[in-house]
Amino acid sequence: MPDHLAYQSKMEAAGTLVFAGPMSDESGTQMQGMGLIIYRAASFEAARAIAEDDPMHASGARSFTLRKWMINEGNLTLNVGLSQQSVSLS
C-alpha cells in the first residue's frame, strides 16, 4: 500500500491523476477494497500504461478495468491537490 500511495501522489503532482479513492458497497456504509481512479492521459494506451505502472496493479495485488470517459457537462476551475494540500485557480 505505501508504494501505491506514493505512486498516486507522484501522478497527482504530475497532473496525471485527477481523482482516486476507495468505493463503498451499494449501501454506502462499507468500504469494499475496490476503488476508482480517474487519470488525465493523452490516449487510451497512455492511460493503460499509467495504470499498469501502479504498484498495486504491477504486483498483482489488484486488477483494473480501463474505461474511457467522455465528459459532456460540467465546469472545473479549481485545482485541489489533496495529498499536497494545495489549492490553485486556473
pLDDT 10s digits, 21-30: 999 988 999 9
pLDDT at 89: 67
The grid coordinates listed for 89 are 485557480
The Cα 58–Cα 72 span in angstroms is 32
The Cα 85–Cα 6 span in angstroms is 15
Note the pTM of the prediction, 2 decimals. 0.74
| Domain count across the chain | 1
Range of the domain at 71: 2-89
The Cα 55–Cα 69 span in angstroms is 23
From residue 56, give the alpha-carbon distance in Å to each of 2, 4, 5, 78: 10, 6, 9, 29
Identity of the amino acid at 78: L
Domain containing residue 69: CATH number: 3.30.70
